[in-house]
Amino acid sequence: MAATSALVDEITQLVACDLGESALQLAELECRPHLTNPAVPAAERLQLARAYAASLRAQQQHRAALRATADFVAAARGQLPAADVEAAARDMADMRWALGEVDLCLAQLRQIPRAHRTTRDWTRMARCAAALNQHGDAATFYAEVLRAQPNAAEALAACAASADPSAAAVPGSTNHDVAAVARAMALMRRFDYASASSELRRLARRHRSSARIVALQATCRFNLSDDRGARVLFERALAMGDTLFDEMGVYAALLARTADRLGAYTLGRRLLRADATRAEGWVAMARYLELAGRAQDALAVAWKAQALAPRLPDAFLAEGAAQLGAGSAADAATAFARAHALAPSAYTYASLVNALVLSGQLKEAFVYAREAAELMPRHPAALAMVGSVLAHSPESADKAERLLTAALDLDRRNADAVSSLAALFVATGRVPDAAALLERHLPEIPTDDMHTRYADVLTLANDLPQAAVNYAAALHMNPDNQRARAGYERVDRLMNPHADSDDADDNDDDDNAAEDAEDHLVEGADTLLPPASPPHSDFSDDVL
C-alpha cells in the first residue's frame, strides 16, 4: 500500500508540474499493468486507475481516460465500496464534461444517490441541465445549491436570470440578497449598466468575499466604457478567487480593447492551468494570439473555445476579433451576430456595428446602431455608434457631427467619438478643427492610437515637427504601432530630404504624405473599437 501511495504521489506531482508526458509514461509502465491484476487489492487498483486517468487527462486524452476508468469500474464494481464507486462516477462525469458530452455527464451524476450529492455535483448538474435547455431541472438543481450555500453567487445569478426570480427564495437563503442580484441582472439585461453597478456595489459591501459579484461589477463598468475602473475590479475579483472563470471572457475582451497583449497571455495561462476544460482560458489565449498578429492561430483557439462552450458569447466575440485581424470583416460580422444573439450587450452592439461598417454593410450597421441608441439613450458609446455610421454619408454629416458631439458631452474620454468626429472634420475639409479637437482631448485619452491620429492630422496641416513629436510619443507607448512607425518615417523623410532630390520630387512627397495621412486617419475611424496593436514584449509566443 505504501508503494502504491508513493507511486500515485509521484504521478500527481509530475502532473502538477506540467510534466504530463513523464507522468503518462510512468503511469503506463507502473499503473496500467496492475489494473486487472486480482492479486492487487481493489482499493489500491482504484488509486492506480485514478492516477492513470489523471495522467491521460493531463495530455488532453479525455476519451482514453474515460474508457480506462469505465473498464476498471465495470470489472471491480462488486469489490469496491459505494463511496469509491461514487467517486469514480464523479471522475467520469468530469471527463464527459471535458468532452462536451453534457447529456451523458448529467446522466452519470444522476447515478449518485441524492443524499450523497455534493454542492459541486448539484452545480455541475445545473450547468448540464441549463446547457440542454432543461431550465426547470436547472432551477431545481440550483435550488439545492442554495440550500447548502445560501449566497452562492452562481446559483443566485442563475435564479435571478429566470423568469421568476422569487424562485431563488428557498429555505435558508437570504431573500434580500437574492432580490438584489435579481434586480442587478435584470438591469444588465435592460442595458442599464450604471444602475446595475450601483446595485452590485451595495451587494458587495455585504459579501466582501464574493469574487463573482465584483466580476459582475467589472462587466458593468466595461460596458460603460470605463476600462480603467473595470480592470481594477477584474483584478480584485481574480485576487479573491483563483478559480474564478465567470466574466473572464469579458476581461479578455477588455485586455484586447486596451491592447494589453501580455495581460491577455497571463490571464489565458492562469485560467488554463486552473482548468483547461473551461472555455474562458482559450478565449483569453485567442485574444492574445490576435493581438500578437497570429490571426489564424487565434481563430483555431476561438473555435476550440466554442467546442467546449457552444453557448458562450465570449468565444464568438474572440472569433470575430480574429476574423477582423485576418481581414474577413463579413465573417467577423457573422461571428459577432452569433455572440449578440446569445447575450446582447453594449459591447456586442459595438463589435457588430464595427464589423458591418468595415464590410460595407452600412444599412445593417445603422439598424443595429439605432437600436442600441434606443435601448441606451444616454449611453455615449451608443450615440457614437450612430454618429460613426452616419459619418460615412455626406448627406448626414451634420447629424453625425451633432451625435458625436453629444457623445463627447456625456463622456469626454470616449475615444470612438473623438476619432470619428476628427475623421468627419478631415473628410469635410476642416483640418484645423480636427487638430483642435484631438489636441483638446489628447490629455484625457493619452493612448498611442490617439497620438497617431493627432500626428496624422498635423501632417495634413503641414505641421511636420509636431507630427514627428506625436508619432514618437505613440511609438514610445507602443513600439509595435505600425501606423505610427510608417508616419514617423514619412515625416522624417519630408523634414530631411536627400541632397539630390529636386523640388518637384519634394512637392510630390508632400502631396503623397498628406494623402497617406488622410487615408490613415479615415481608415482608423472606421474602427469603432480601439485598435488592438500588440505591446512590445519579449515573452514566448509558444502558448499552446
pLDDT in tens, 383-441: 888 888 888 878 888 888 888 888 888 878 777 888 888 888 888 888 898 889 888 88
For residue 213, what pLDDT is reported?
A: 86
pLDDT at 102 over 70: yes
Count the helix, strand and coil residues of the chain and give each as a percent rounded to the nearest 5: 75, 0, 25
Mean pLDDT on 29-54: 80
Distances (CA, A) of 428 to 401, 423, 513, 522: 11, 9, 19, 11
Helical (H) or strand (E) element with 112: none
Architecture of the CATH domain 412-544: Alpha Horseshoe (1.25)
Query: With contact defined as beta carbons under 8 Å apart, do 531 and 524 qualify?
Result: yes
Q: What is the mean pLDDT of residues 354-373?
A: 89
Domain regions of the chain by residue span: 1-116, 412-544
Write the DSSP symbol of residue 326: T
> CB under 8 Å to 299, separation ≥6 — which residues?
286, 319, 322, 323, 326
DSSP per-residue codes, 349-400 = HHHHHHHHHHTT-HHHHHHHHHHHHHHSTT-HHHHHHHHHHHTTSGGGHHHH
Percent of the chain at pLDDT > 70 equals 85
Residue 339 CA to residue 318 CA, distance in Å, equals 9
Q: Which of 316-325, 354-363, 396-405, 484-493 has the lowest mean pLDDT?
A: 396-405
Picking from 371, 354, 285, 272, the residue whose alpha carbon sits closest to that of residue 58 is 272
Q: Tell me whether the CATH fold assigned to 1-116 matches the one assigned to 412-544.
A: yes
- For the stretch 243-265, pLDDT in tens is 678 889 999 999 998 888 899 99
Cell 474572440 belongs to: 318
Cβ atoms of 303 and 274 closer than 8 Å: no
Per-residue model confidence (pLDDT) at position 537: 36
Flag whether pLDDT at 191 surpasses 80: yes
Mean pLDDT within 511-537: 46
Backbone phi and psi for residue 453, each to the nearest 5 degrees, phi listed first: -60, -45
For residue 528, name the pLDDT band (cuts at 50, 70, 90): very low
Confidence of residue 204 (pLDDT cuts 50, 70, 90): confident
pTM of the shown model: 0.59
Letter for the amino acid at 194? A
Residues contacting residue 408 through CB under 8 Å, at least 6 positions apart: 380, 414, 417, 418, 421, 441
In the predicted model, is pLDDT for residue 161 greater than 80?
no
- Percent pLDDT > 90 in the chain is 20
Give the Cα separation of 316 and 339 in Å (integer). 5
Sign of the C-alpha dihedral, residues 421, 423, 424, 429? positive
214 Cβ contact list (under 8 Å, min separation 6): 204, 233, 236, 237, 240
Mean of pLDDT over the chain: 81
Query: Residue 55 has what pLDDT?
Result: 86
> Which pLDDT score, from 0 to 100, does residue 287 have?
94
Q: Of 27-41, 186-200, 308-322, 419-433, which has the strongest mean pLDDT?
A: 308-322
Q: Which CATH architecture has domain 1-116?
A: Alpha Horseshoe (1.25)
Is the pLDDT reported for residue 505 higher than 60?
Answer: no
Cβ neighbours of residue 394 under 8 Å, at least 6 residues apart? Answer: none
Mean pLDDT of 44-72: 85
- The pLDDT tens digits for 5-20 are 788 888 888 877 777 7
Write out pLDDT tens, residues 138-158: 888 888 887 777 666 666 666
Res 296: pLDDT: 93
Q: Which residue has the higher pLDDT, 53 or 18?
A: 53
